Amino acid sequence: MTATLEVRDLQTHFFTRAGVVKAVDGVSFTVGRGKVLGLVGESGSGKSVTGFSIIGLVDAPGRVVGGQILYQGRNLAKISEEEMRQLRGNRIAMIFQDPMMTLNPVLRVDTQMIETVLAHEKVDRETARQRARDALGMVGIPSPDERLKSYPHQFSGGMRQRVAIAIALLHRPELIIADEPTTALDVTIQGQILAEVQKLAATTGTSLIWITHDLSVVAGLADDIAVMYAGRIVEEGEVSAVLDAPLHPYTVGLIGSVPSRNKRGEPLRQIPGMTPSLLKLPAGCAFRSRCARADEVCLQEPALFDLRPGQRARCFHPHLEEVAA
Amino acid sequence: MTVYLLRRLFQSLLVLVAMSVIVFVGVYAVGDPVEILISPDADQFERERAIRALGLDLPLWQQYLVFVKNALQGDLGRSFVFSEPALQLILQKMPATLELAFGAMFISILIGLPLGLYAGLKPDSPGAKVIMAGSILGFSLPTFWVGLMLIMVFAVQLGWLPSTGRGETLWGWSFLTANGLSHLLLPAINLALFKISLVIRLTRSGVRETMLMDYVKFARAKGLSPARVTYVHVFKNILIPVVTVVGLELGSTIAFSVVTESVFAWPGMGKLIIDSINVLDRPVIVAYLMIIVLMFIVINLIVDILYSVLDPRVRLEGQA
């Protein structure tokens, strides 16, 4: 299996006045061709920054300071801004979290789509318009010809996200980075969009990095999963393996926090404490202060251990014994 | 749109009526023109004759009704001083003020917009800091002093530009002749200084705000060139507040170009109104204020319409 994208030891730091925030600190993963990787974590775990690092859009004062982002043998962390621009929206596309904010309110949908076509291909406007219309049709927007002439505020949130997905699909990219694209939507719309994306990824062979905090989304969509905590991947593996038998106490807690898994009437389960400040991360395991299993060993920095075939976790006390249960 | 316009017209009418009462009463309260207009040597009989001729013997409410009756026929009264229709006096001076105000607006946009854009896109660069410091000067230096400095440097010491008057005019406009244009330049710059600062600050804050929006990031994620992101996606959004403020400022520029017109002896409406206030030439003052009110109403309407053109989310329809 050839990989579409390989990220090696990525480090993205924010140089703020209060100090250096290591938002992403040594993240590695591989996205296979046509595969969906679910990147899961709480707010502030560095999952979105990882996505923006890949596409080269980390806002100041942030910067990719180390590691490699390998795409077709090229390290995206090192290429020029113009080379990166040619890849963006073309070979690597991105979908954002809030569909109400991603489309420019004062430009018509056709303007925003056609400019995307023209940014990467020399075609006449009419061809570009056709492409835009076809893309709208592909994501299930009825009467695309009319909708092209509309402004974003004339669409509902779900429709706007479909437009954003259509824009991402215009150049049939090899990789789409989706940054919580269904979080801001109704559950029913979320389901529709997920089904749509799954279908499109399967038919076009596009790889996906699906950034989310919602494990149920990942369960239905992703092939592989990487759980992030405090700028690091704490557990990774095949989706079914990780969700059925999580190894890292954090993953266990995360899965336990999904309300539907609790029995009715029981208090909802939660992970005690809060995500540590990335400004002064304690030495050793970052999850130590919230972990029931932590002891002196955890003062050391754990590596990602190969604990089961195809499943790795960054923990000295993994939940290996639960397998039997 | 038609409903909207009709309602706006009706509102404007109410504003006009209210303003006419306020202006009329206000000017009446300022002072008695008889004391200034009639020579102190005049005897009782002459005085009364003059007062009756000017219509000042009637009670205030009757004077007002007479004014309204005449105004409805397009007659805003005769100047006490020039014995000419007040409206005609003002309209004669209007082109001078209009070209001064529009010239100033033009300059402020031409200079303010690019500088503001630069300061917004590169907020930490030394250039941006110089621009912002300069804009504080533009805000805080008094207009009359800057006007005098401009005259001293460019007219007196360098001798590049004339300092007073309108120069040659063509069909009543100075900007149509080279000589007139050279006369227009200094007062227009003087009047523009404050607006340049305003446009710079508005543009800069607009750019900085817009750059953080998701749609700008998304535009970059689409692989658009930086120029397209800046000049289409960012620019079109910052135009909305800039157009609003510049439009509203145009009204006040026309209305209050008094200082600049005085400093540069520019024979516009501002100078006329100052002279009229000095001699309590009531009809001219009232007519001037009514025209200014009318102008504000028209400008606001144009701004609203422009706004709806620039921002598709604003529709000038029935509700609200």
Residue A257 within a domain = yes
Which pLDDT value is given to residue B317? 53
pLDDT tens string A36-79: 899 998 888 888 999 999 998 888 888 888 888 988 888 888 88
* Average pLDDT of the residues in B266-292: 83
Residue A265 within a domain = yes
Domain limits, chain B: 2-72, 94-310
- Residue B320 reports pLDDT greater than 60: no
- Residue B146 reports pLDDT greater than 80: yes
B311 to A57: CB separation less than 8 angstroms, yes or no: no
For residue A105, the chain B residues in CB contact (below 8 A) are: 215, 237, 311-313
Rounded Cα–Cα distance for residues B220 and B228 (Å):
9
Residue A130 within a domain = no
Residue A26 within a domain = yes
CATH number where A231 lies: 3.40.50.300
**Nearest residue, CB atoms, A106 vs list B218, B219, B311:** B311
Distances from the Cα of B108 to the Cα of B158, B196, B210, angstroms: 24, 4, 22
Which pLDDT value is given to residue B115? 92
- Residue B26 reports pLDDT greater than 70: yes
pLDDT tens string A193-211: 888 888 877 787 888 999 9
Distances from the Cα of B134 to the Cα of B127, B139, B143, B292, angstroms: 11, 9, 15, 31
Which pLDDT value is given to residue A322? 56
Residue B111, phi then psi, degrees to nearest 5: -95, -45
Rounded Cα–Cα distance for residues B174 and B184 (Å):
7
Which pLDDT value is given to residue B315? 66
pLDDT tens, chain A, 325 aa long: 578 888 989 999 999 888 888 888 889 998 888 888 999 988 888 889 999 999 988 888 888 888 889 888 888 888 888 888 988 988 899 998 888 888 988 888 888 999 999 888 888 888 999 988 988 888 888 888 888 888 888 888 888 888 988 898 888 888 999 888 887 777 887 888 888 888 877 787 888 999 988 888 888 888 899 999 888 898 999 888 888 888 888 888 888 877 765 566 777 777 877 777 777 777 888 888 888 888 888 888 888 888 888 888 888 888 877 554 4
Domain hosting residue A50, numbered range: 3-81+174-184+206-324
Mean pLDDT in chain B?
Answer: 82
DSSP B240-269: HHHHHHHHHHHHHHHHTTHHHHHHTT--SH
Residue A296 within a domain = yes
State whether residue B315 sits within 8 Å of chain A by CB. no
Residue A301 within a domain = yes
pLDDT tens string B115-129: 999 988 888 888 888
State whether residue A164 sits within 8 Å of chain B by CB. yes
A128-131 long-range contacts, CB within 8 A, separation 24+: A131/A170
* Average pLDDT of the residues in B49-60: 75
CATH number of B94-310: 1.10.3720.10
Residue A62 within a domain = yes
State whether residue A120 sits within 8 Å of chain B by CB. yes
What domain count does chain A have? 1
For residue B310, the chain A residues in CB contact (below 8 A) are: 106
For residue B283, which of B64, B36, B49 has the smallest C-alpha distance?
Answer: B64
**Nearest residue, CB atoms, A107 vs list B213, B225, B236:** B236
Model pTM? Answer: 0.76
Query: Which residue is closest to A171 within chain B, CA to CA?
Result: B222
Residue A117 within a domain = no
Rounded Cα–Cα distance for residues B19 and B137 (Å):
35
